[in-house]
């Protein structure tokens, strides 16, 4: 029972003028007499006219809709990024079409294709952990859609990208552990494919190396994913070692929380026996007991900046692509789960 919307033609018929005249009145064209303009505007208001965006989009070839695909909406991390995107985009008149890929490569493609059909004006994508092939991104680019990749890097893909310096965050965290006297520092990783996983691991390894610490295979456990459950499983492995670690640097807070519960169960003291460090600095992390030392990420800003870049691209319609690669700095937040510098 959708009521028909008032159109420009309705107004025209009512006043016995042509639709063009009405259009000119509504668009502040100079080629129209002031009196007529006044009459038309009044009627438009009275009849509650609003232009049909569909017709406009068809004409202008732009929808003022941006497509956003994230691996999952239900994570604090990505929803905060979306928050940043929304805040940036809000005043610009652009709307967001948001979807989650559930870390599925196929779903990511499917979603992007659907959005391309709707003719979104551009894409903001955080690739799934199973996205190892970038053909669909290339295709989107070839079709002329502006594309910004955020959070997770696609090495080799030429596109605007905004990421967090995971390497530096991890390096900081592990150096801090070293400075506080930890000797056997373990690492629980996230999904193997992710650029973030790789960078954090590299930061971990390099910090060890720089400080002449041996790299012990046993102490690096590869998680199935980035969940608390994976943290539980991995931490159990670590505690089953003959010689357990005295510090664990976790890929993220969820894993760290899982790890914390296992450590506690076994009656091991945090941080006296094991220092624990997470990544992401989720809101609850400060409320845990002991509160969690973690690497804070400017994830809201990540969304903000990604959206800004996309909007910039939409404005200038550049021909010679000069891709931006923005790296935001994370910060170590020291709390109770790690020992203090002596």
Asked whether 144 and 132 are in contact (CB, 8 A), the reply is no
Asked whether 151 and 164 are in contact (CB, 8 A), the reply is yes
Q: Choosing among DNA, a copy of itself, none, which partner's interface includes residue 264 (Cβ < 5 to 8 Å by kind)? A: a copy of itself
Residue whose pair of structure tokens reads 């939409």 in the numeric block: 314
Asked whether 96 and 86 are in contact (CB, 8 A), the reply is yes
Binding footprint of a copy of itself on the chain (CB under 8 A): 1-3, 5, 50-55, 57-58, 61, 63, 65, 72-76, 79-80, 82-83, 86, 95-100, 114-115, 117-119, 142-145, 228, 257-258, 260-261, 264, 283-284, 287-289, 317-319
Q: How far apart are CA 74 and CA 257, in angstroms?
A: 17
Q: Choosing among a copy of itself, DNA, none, which partner's interface includes residue 283 (Cβ < 5 to 8 Å by kind)? A: a copy of itself
Asked whether 103 and 74 are in contact (CB, 8 A), the reply is no
Q: Site for DNA (CB under 7 A): which residue of 9, 133, 209, 211?
A: 9
Least distance in angstroms from the C-beta of 44 to DNA: 10
Four-CA torsion 98, 100, 302, 251, nearest 10 degrees: 170
3-state secondary structure at position 20? helix
Asked if residue 23 binds DNA (CB under 7 A), the reply is: yes
Q: Site for DNA (CB under 7 A): which residue of 27, 74, 91, 212?
A: 27
Q: Choosing among DNA, a copy of itself, none, which partner's interface includes residue 319 (Cβ < 5 to 8 Å by kind)? A: a copy of itself
Asked if residue 48 binds DNA (CB under 7 A), the reply is: no
Rg value, the chain, Cα: 26
Asked if residue 55 binds DNA (CB under 7 A), the reply is: yes
Q: Choosing among DNA, a copy of itself, none, which partner's interface includes residue 222 (Cβ < 5 to 8 Å by kind)? A: none
Least distance in angstroms from the C-beta of 209 to a copy of itself: 33
Nearer to DNA, 52 or 286 (CB): 52
Asked if residue 273 binds DNA (CB under 7 A), the reply is: no
Least distance in angstroms from the C-beta of 245 to a copy of itself: 20
Q: Choosing among DNA, a copy of itself, none, which partner's interface includes residue 8 (Cβ < 5 to 8 Å by kind)? A: DNA
Least distance in angstroms from the C-beta of 30 to a copy of itself: 26
Residues pairing with 106 in the sheet:
none
- If we measure between CA atoms, which residue out of 307, 279, 65 comes closest to residue 162? 307
Instruction: Reduce the secondary structure of 81-129 to three states and give it as a string.
Output: HHHHHHHHHHCCCCEEEEEECCCCHHHHHHHHHHHHHCCCCEEEECCCC
Look up residue 291 and give its two tokens.
């509160």
Asked if residue 1 binds DNA (CB under 7 A), the reply is: no
Non-local (6+) Cβ contacts of 285 within 8 A are 253, 256, 257, 278, 291, 292, 294, 335
Nearer to a copy of itself, 122 or 245 (CB): 122
Size of the site for DNA (CB under 7 A): 30
Look up residue 340 and give its two tokens.
């203090």
Q: Choosing among a copy of itself, DNA, none, which partner's interface includes residue 92 (Cβ < 5 to 8 Å by kind)? A: none
Cα first-last separation, the chain: 73
Binding interface with DNA (CB under 7 A): 4-5, 7-9, 16-21, 23-24, 26-27, 30-34, 36, 49, 51-52, 54-56, 58-59, 61
């Amino acid at each position: 029972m959708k009521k028909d919307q008032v159109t420009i033609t309705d107004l025209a018929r009512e006043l016995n003028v042509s639709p063009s005249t009405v259009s000119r009145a509504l668009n502040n064209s100079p080629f129209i007499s002031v009196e007529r303009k006044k009459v038309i505007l009044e009627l438009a208001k009275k009849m509650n006219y609003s232009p049909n965006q569909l017709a406009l989009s068809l004409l202008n070839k732009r929808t003022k809709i941006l497509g956003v695909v994230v691996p999952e909406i239900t994570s604090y991390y990505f929803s905060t990024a979306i928050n940043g995107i929304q805040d940036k985009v809000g005043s610009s008149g652009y709307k967001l079409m948001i979807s989650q890929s559930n870390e599925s490569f196929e779903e990511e493609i499917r979603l992007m294709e659907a959005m391309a059909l709707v003719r979104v004006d551009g894409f903001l994508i955080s690739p799934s952990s199973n996205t190892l092939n970038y053909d669909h991104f290339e295709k989107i680019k070839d079709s002329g859609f502006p594309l910004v990749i955020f959070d997770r890097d696609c090495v080799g893909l030429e596109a605007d990208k905004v990421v967090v310096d995971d390497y530096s965050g991890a390096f900081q965290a592990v150096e801090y552990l070293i400075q506080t006297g930890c000797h056997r520092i373990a690492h629980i990783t996230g999904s193997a494919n992710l650029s973030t996983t790789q960078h954090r691991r590299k930061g971990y390894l390099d910090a060890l190396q720089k400080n002449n610490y041996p790299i012990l295979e046993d102490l690096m456990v590869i998680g199935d994913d980035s969940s608390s459950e994976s943290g539980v499983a991995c931490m159990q492995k670590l505690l089953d070692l003959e010689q357990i670690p005295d510090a664990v640097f976790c890929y993220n807070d969820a894993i760290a929380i899982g790890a914390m519960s296992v450590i506690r169960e076994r009656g091991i003291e945090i941080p006296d026996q094991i220092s624990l460090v997470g990544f992401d600095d989720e809101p609850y992390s400060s409320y845990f007991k002991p509160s969690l030392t973690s690497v804070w990420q400017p994830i809201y800003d990540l969304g903000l900046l990604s959206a800004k870049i996309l909007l910039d691209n939409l404005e200038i319609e550049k021909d010679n692509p000069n891709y931006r690669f923005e790296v935001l700095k994370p910060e170590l937040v020291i709390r109770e789960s790690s020992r203090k510098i002596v």
